[in-house]
Chain A
C-alpha cells in the first residue's frame, strides 16, 4: 500500500477504507462490464498479464476476450470503430497506455466523436470513454509523458476529466459511463496508480459531484486550482504551510477540465483575492491560461495580486533525471509560489519543504514504464 493521502471530502470522514487509484479504476471497469452487457473494453494489451498497469487485470478471464478485446496497433481505426460501435448500441471503453498515442486518433476524436451529435442536429449519440495515461519520470521523455488535456478540452463536444484520487474515479467514472451520452476522455496519471486514498466504503456513501470541480480544502489566504497529481502536491504544500501557520490554502481540484465549476472557483477567488494554478501541462493556451480567462472575464478586480501559474517547462520533456526534475514543477517551487502570493513578497523567510522530486515521493516501483 502506498501513501494514504487524507482527502478532505465529506465522503472521507466516516468508514474510510484505503483504495488505490489502480484498484478504483479496476473496480470501475469491472462495474461497467457487469452493469451493461453492451459495454466493451478495447485497447492494446487490455487482456494481458499487466492489464493496463493493473486497471483491467483479470477482466478478460471474467468477461471474455470478445468484451475485453486486445486490439491491433491502429489508434485512429479503433477510435472510429468505437464511434461506430457506440452508434449501434455498445458502450466502448478504449485505452491508451500513453496519452501521446491518442494523438494518432485525433481525427476521430476531434472531427467525428466530438461532433457526431451536434453536426447531425442531435440525431445521434456517441456514448463512449477513452482512457489515456499520462506518463512521467523514469525517462519517459518527449513522447511518453505528454499531458494533453488542453488540446481536448479546447474542443466543444468532449468531456475531459483528470482524476486526482481514487475517490474522484469512483465518483465520476461510473456516473459518466451510465449517464453521459457522449464521448468522455479520461487523463489518468501514471504516478498516481500505486497510491492509496481514503475513500468512504459505507454502503450508499454519498459521493462528491460526478463532474465539475471539487473543493478539497477550505482556506482564506490563497486559492490553488490544481489538476491531477498537482492536486496532491498542493495538498502537501498546504499541510506544510498549515503546520507552520504560514498560510491558509483553499484547494480546488479542477477535475473536469472541459467543464470546470466556475462559480466554485470565482467564489473562492472573491474571498482569497489570490489565485495560483498548478497544472500538469504547459501553461500557454492551457488550463492555466483558461483559469485566468475565467477570472479576468468575470472580474479582474477580484484579484489582490497577479495570478501565479505552474506547469511543465515550455520544452519537450527531457529524459535525464536532472533535467526532468527541473522540467516538472516541484513541491518546493509550489510552496514557495504560494508563500510569495500569500505574503506579497519574494523574501517571505518561511522554510520550504525539501525538494525531493515528486517521482521519488510517489513512485512505488522502478521503471521501466
Chain B
C-alpha cells in the first residue's frame, strides 16, 4: 500500500488528546484489554496481570500513569518485530519527558474510534504507516499528559505552571520535586488541555527521538517470556487443526471421521467452510486425528492449473496491449519508430510469507459475544468480519492483541481468513476457548501468496543512450480485487498494487506508459513485504542498469543523470555509493558490484551489493544501504528493519519460489521451500540520511532494492543479465 494513496483525515488526526473530556479510572482487573491476558497461566501474563492490578490512571487514549510511577503506553499497532512498541512509545515519552526506564507498553484494544490508523481510516497495521500516522498524534498525547502533570504540580505547590520543569520523569519547581507517580492521581483529575494549547518540542530539543541508547520495549524475547498467539493458554482451552483441500477452491464431497474420533485426545470432528476441523486436547492429538481422516474432495470448482502454465500465459500476455495504468506522451508511438531500443522480459514466482510463527488464533464464542487472542494486524477489518459472521455487534467482539512471530503481510488478511476459520470452529464449542494452529505445511500450502507476475519493459533510446520513451507491461493477479479495499485501491480496473513502483517512475523519461493485464486465477494472493514493489523495483532497477551498460556509462552515474529532478533519490544514491566505495574501492577478482535505488512507503533506499562468483555459484558478501525515512525516531530500529528487509528480500532473490503442479502446491516446509539462513547472510551496513522531515516507512522500503542490486552485481561479475527470480546463473 502506497501511503500517498491514503489521505489524512484532518479531523481524525485531532482525536488524540481532546477526545477524553472526562476522567476514567480503570479499576483493577476490569480493564478490557488486560482481561484476556490475566486468564493466561504464563509467567509473563501473570506478571502483567499483577502490575495492571495497580490502579491505572488514563490520561488519554495512549497514556496512563500509575501511583507506582509506571508510565503505560497503549500501542495501537501490532508489534510483529518491526519495533512499534519502541518507536511509538518514544514519541509519547519524548513529549511527556518520561524516564525511558519507567515506560511499559501494551497493545491497545480494538477500538476504531480511538485507535484508527490515521492514514487508513480504520485500526490496522500495514503499508509501513505505523510511525508516519502516529508521530504527531502520539507526541500530542505525551504533551497533553505532561501538561496535566504540570497543572497538578502547580496546584499542589501553588506556583505558576509555566515555571515548572519536567525532566526524565521528575516534575520540579525550586525546592519542590515530585515523580510522575506522586502526581498521578491528582494529574489524572486535571482537565485534558485543548489540542491547540499544546506546545511540542522542536527537533533540537529531542532527547529520546533520534537517541541511540533507548532499548526496545518489546522485551522477553531473549528468555522465552514474550507471549505469542501460540503461547496463549486459557482454562479449558482446546486445540484445533483443519484439513484443507489440496487444491484452492475445492470443497468437501464426503468424509469419514470415525478413525479420527477414536484417537485418544480427539474431541470433535466437523466440517466447516474451509475443510474438516479436528478439535483435540492438544496439538499433537489434533494432528494425529487429522491424519486418520478419510476425505473425498470435490475439485469441480477448484483451480487446477500449474504455475508454469500460468507464467507461460503471462509471458504471452505481456506481448499484447494491456489496460493503461499511466500515460505520459506517446511512448507507444515513439517506441514503434525508434531505431535503438532495449526490451527485457521479467518473471516472478509465487512467494509464501513463511513468517516464523505459522498462522494461528485463539477464540471463544459465548452467547452474543466473542473474545479473541492473537497477533491481530487488521483490527477493524477482523473485528467486523467476526461480528458479521456471528451476527453480533462489532463492539461485542473483544480482541486481545499479543506479539506476532513475524507477519510480512500474512497476518493482515483482507478476508480475515484464519480469524474466521477459528471463529467457525469456536462457535461450534460455545464458551470454550479454541486455539487454531496451522502447521508449517498448512501455512505454506494455505495460499495468500505474493502473486506470480511477468513484465515486459521497453525503452526507446536517443543517440546518447538515454531513454526517450519507456513502456512497462505487467501481467498477474490483483491483490486488492474482491477485498474491502478494492474501492480505494482499484481504479478503472487497475489495482495500484500491481503497478506501483513502475508508475510514478522516478527517472526522467519524457514519454511513459504502464499497462496491466489482470489475470483471473483461483490461487489466493496477498501483499508480501513491500507489496507491488517486490517486483516492480526489480524490473525497473535491472532495466535501468541494462540501459546504463548498453550506453557504456557507470550505473550510478547513469542513474544520477536521470534523477536530476529527484533530489531525494539523488542524495540517497550518492550516500550509498560513497559509503560502499563505489568507483574507489577495488573488489577482489571474480566479484561484482551492483546498485539499486527505490522509493516506497514514503522512504527512499539505495543498496549496493557485492557478490563473489565461482562457476555458477555466488554469494552476496556485503550490502551497503542508505535510507531517507525522514526523522529516524529510533535509529537502531531503523537499521534493524533495513537489515531484516534486506534478508527477507535476499531470501526471495536467492531461493524462495512457490510452484504448483495441477493446482497443488509443490512445497510444504523449509526443506523444499528454502529460505535464507545465516551462512548466506551478507555483512550489512546501513546509513541513515539525516533529516528533519516527518518520519516515513521503514518496515518495507529496504526490501525492494536488494534483489535488483544483487542481479546487477551478477551482471557486473558475469555479464549475465538475469531477469527471473530467484536468480540462477547459467
Whether both chains belong to one complex is answered with no
Binding site for B on A (CB under 8 A): none
